[in-house]
Structure 1
């Protein structure tokens, strides 16, 4: 039974989220550690440690919530100090190096490699997606994951390389596209654009400004530490250049053909009418919310 949970990097945004989540778990004691210990506060069921060893050696589960570049080193430090049967969880967005380190942990430690596909603003875990990358025993690791995060939607990617390739588009290319958009728009009269914008610009602005809340180190890591991202960016820019050539060459026939092909492809994948409806649901919510873009 998991009674003592240690969170390494508990002062960070995701560390804070998981600390709050596990603090609601009945019968659980939290042991928190962060390099900036002043950011942490103890309570009746929470202990703040100033030493990593004392944080992990008593824990039934250790969750690593540190910056991507630090994950392999922290895994090494934790694994050798953990008690037999304890679970070591890492949640980074890039798995290549961290996965290799989890493969090397001593046999008395149970590794769990997951990727929460949500950010620290998520109001709850309900229906939030978590990806599992099995390390040793997929069946046991899936069981542990479902017990820890009841209510989440679990998907499995069977190796770290495939995970990182998929994330190079889902995260890397998406961040790159929004950063380019944000950079361009920042050089325009942004207040006028907001004042007169319709639904499309409003949604795109919401996306590009929201990712800027992430720590710069995280954004840089997503774009530079995943070896596949640069390749995807080059492909993306190639596609952009092709469209630009069609427009600048006034080739309306080929441009219409391209649009029809895109429409046909996505219509086979999902209902475009549903996508359109969902976009207006988001806009409707923003109109009712004080936090909406106006």
Structure 2
């Protein structure tokens, strides 16, 4: 297959470039960052010889700025028109516009894939271009980051746009080793993402912001299991693009959960101010009872220590 990846110079775009290249597809890599594209191409071709180089084509010009003049736009349009699949790996706030800009150059029956973490706005754009241009949509959300092994069984959320069965078939064809989790409603997907992404990012960035740099070395030296894992999470999050952070928090469902979280913290603070240990213990017990009713908290405790043992064993090497 011929696959164009727009935003290939980014971290997730590079992941998909490696994924498709390793499976023998011809890939057109587009990004406004020429240095990132060249570095990606070099890494892809590092182990290839002869004909391998013909499967990678670099397209430096941004299709989204095609009206700004300059050369190179025609080759991008040709690549899009000749591709079986066009994938958008772009910041969430530009994807709805990109859907329309790209779809107009695709041939009927080709597949437009987007991998945004939030789906409300992009689904509207996808439904519109399907009707206008006769293309096939595929709305995916990778449940992993760019550090994931391209050969692993990675999980994706599939959020159907028009025909769920057809779109699932397309996903299984182009991602044969993936595990698909199907969520039928885009708004329900975004609501859950407000919890598992938006709130997790908000809590961890707020926690990291609270810390003083001078305290971190001693915190790590004295840390037990909880801070060790927590620091891995917030330090890992801080490798992401600031635009991802802002986009996740601008999810329209986040405000509701963030207000509830702040109210819970204010309640804890009022108990501390009142030296009310009994209420603090009751809050803890109530939460433990609630979560134990729907999760295996003892199993999670054991898993936490297995993870820590693995971390500690690797740190000792």
Instruction: Assess if the C-alpha contact under 8 Å between 1:12 and 1:65 holds in 2.
Output: yes
Q: Distance in 1 between matches of 2:243 and 2:228?
A: 27
- TM-score, scaled to structure 1: 0.93
Q: Who is 1:83 aligned against?
A: 107
- What SS is found at the alignment partner of 1:56? helix
Q: Who is 2:57 aligned against?
A: 47
Match of 1:161 among 187, 203, 211: 187
- Report the CA distance between 1:78 and its aligned residue: 1.1
Q: Distance in 2 between matches of 1:14 and 1:21?
A: 10
- Report the CA distance between 1:126 and its aligned residue: 2.8
CA offsets, 1:69-116, max 9 Å, x none? Answer: 110111111111001210000001121211110011135200111111
Q: Who is 1:270 aligned against?
A: 295
CA offsets, 1:137-165, max 9 Å, x none? Answer: 00011111122222322112222221111
Q: Kindly indicate whether residue 222 of structure 2 is the aligned counterpart of residue 219 of structure 1.
A: no
Pairwise CA RMSD: 1.7
Runs of 4+ in 1 over 3 A off after TM superposition: none
Q: Kindly indicate whether residue 278 of structure 2 is the aligned counterpart of residue 253 of structure 1.
A: yes
Q: Kindly indicate whether residue 159 of structure 2 is the aligned counterpart of residue 133 of structure 1.
A: yes
Aligned length: 288
Q: Distance in 1 between matches of 2:59 and 2:175?
A: 25
Q: Distance in 1 between matches of 2:173 and 2:192?
A: 26
CA spacing shift, 1:287–1:150, aligned 2, 3 Å:
same
Q: Distance in 1 between matches of 2:35 and 2:239?
A: 22
Q: Distance in 2 between matches of 1:152 and 1:175?
A: 25
- Report the CA distance between 1:291 and its aligned residue: 9.4
Q: Distance in 1 between matches of 2:159 and 2:213?
A: 41
- TM-score, scaled to structure 2: 0.86
- Structure 1, unmatched stretches of 5+, are none
- What SS is found at the alignment partner of 1:269? coil
